[in-house]
Amino acid sequence: MDCERLPGGPPVPPVSWSGALSAAPDAADDPTHVPVTLDEAAEKATNAAGWVEQNWSTWLNTGLQIVLILVVALTLRMLVRKALTKLIDRMNRSAQAVEGTALGGLLVNAERRRQRSEAIGSVLRSVASFLILGTAGLMILGAFKIDLAPLLASAGVAGVAIGFGARNLVTDFLSGVFMILEDQYGVGDSIDAGVASGEVIEVGLRVTKLRGVDGEIWYVRNGEIKRIGNLSQGWATAAVDVTVRSTEDLDRVREVITEAAESMSKEEPWNERLWGPVEVLGLTEVLLDSMTVRVSAKTMPGKRLGVERELRWRIKRALDRAGIRIVGGIPAQADEPAKSDPTAGMSAPSVFSSPSSPQSAAATPLPKPEITK
């Protein structure tokens, strides 16, 4: 082989491939080097291809299972949510249809129904999504041949820890769910929740919002409500006590009160707010100078105070026209002229009025002694 000459330099001898291979470090000198022959490489490639050929069906089967689980879970979730939404819309439409009637305006509150239905729908949709997607996730993990026992045990321990740490939140949430499902109260109801009372303006899963009689807004946690007195469900009772003098004719008093009540029940808007006749129940208290007559009536929920005020107004005017005096607080004989007391100007008897008494003698000043020079 001819020598090559570099520009401006001496000639360079040709490179021999055999010399280069012989000049390379000997592989036997490297203890970590494992010579790989073409047969071994071919065997490894064949094994890998065989392993892929043996397992590709398993991979395809697992992938199809995962895709099928996801498709079924998402489809089922969508169908359940649509069904719940239609159910809630149907509830709202039925409430609106009843609200247009005369009786429906007294029994149905559209805002209350709307909030209650939305809260129930939200809870049901969340529970359905959790159950469906959670089950799908566990099925996917099972398709990967993952042991679910440790995972479920860890989830159980974590759930217990979270339950203890956030027990107030869990209590509030569960109480709110049962209050809404049982329809214990709703928007527009007047309730006594123990810790606060007023008109319900918002019902949530954790907090109930009330407006008090003075306009204040109370935020009451549902878990703190131990008892609920709903003043807006069913009907209410208006009770009025009329105290007259004990010398009045009871039959005459009953007649006058009954005429005033009948006149009130025939006028608007009291004919709608009174759900029954006004009844004179009888005497509740009899004293020496007065007696108390109890008057009662069944009213529309939430209208008890207004009916009681109007009843007092009309009964008082009717008794005045009949010449029957209402008493209370001031004794009945107070309107008679008081007689003068003859002993009012006399002083109490005293031992000092007798000069022979020991007290008078002790109180008599000593005589002034005479001093002689």
**pLDDT at residue 348, rounded to an integer:** 55
What does DSSP say about strands 290-299 and 197-203: parallel, antiparallel, or unpaired? unpaired
Query: CA 354, CA 261: separation in Å to the nearest integer?
Result: 70
Q: What are phi and psi of 201, to 5 degrees?
A: -115, -15
Q: How far is CA 68 from its chain centroid?
A: 41
Q: Which two tokens stand for residue 8?
A: 């401006």
Residue 269: cis peptide before it, omega within 30 degrees of 0:
yes
Strands 236-245 and 279-286 turn out to be unpaired
> Is the per-residue pLDDT at 247 higher than 70?
yes
Give the CA distances from residue 59 to residues 47, 52, 66, 142, 333, in Å, rounded to whole numbers and listed in that order: 18, 10, 11, 14, 105
Distance CA 295, CA 292 (A): 10
- pLDDT category of residue 288 using cuts at 50, 70 and 90: confident
Q: What amino acid is encoded at 172 in this protein?
A: D
- Pull the structure tokens for residue 180: 């809404």
pLDDT tens column, 80-136: 988 888 887 777 676 555 555 444 444 445 666 776 777 777 778 888 888 898 888
- Statement: residue 27 has pLDDT above 60: no
Q: Tokens standing for 137? A: 């996730």
Q: Tell which phi-psi region holds residue 33, choosing left (phi > 0), alpha (psi between -120 and 50) or beta.
A: beta
Confidence of residue 75 (pLDDT cuts 50, 70, 90): very high
- Mean predicted confidence (pLDDT) in 357-366: 64
Which string of b and e fits 343-362 if b means at least 16 CB within 10 Å? eeeeeeeeeeeeeeeeeeee
H/E element holding 295?
strand 290-299
- Number of other residues whose CB lies within 10 A of the CB of residue 284: 13
Contact 321, 329 (CB under 8 A): no
In angstroms, rounded to a whole number, what is the distance separating the alpha carbons of residues 243 and 278?
17
pLDDT of residue 105: 45
Residues 209, 200 contacting (CB under 8 angstroms): yes
Question: Can you give the pLDDT at residue 200?
Answer: 87
Direct distance between the N- and C-terminal alpha carbons of the chain, in angstroms, rounded to an integer: 182
- SS3 letters across 32-54: CCCCCCHHHHHHHHHHHHHHHHH
d(CA 147, CA 141): 8
Which residue, chain included where needed, has tokens 């809404």?
180
Q: Which two structure tokens, joined as six digits, stand for 221?
A: 């946690």
Which pTM value belongs to this model?
A: 0.48
Sequential DSSP letters for 189-206: -EEE-SS-EEEEEEE-SS
Whether residue 334 has pLDDT greater than 70: no
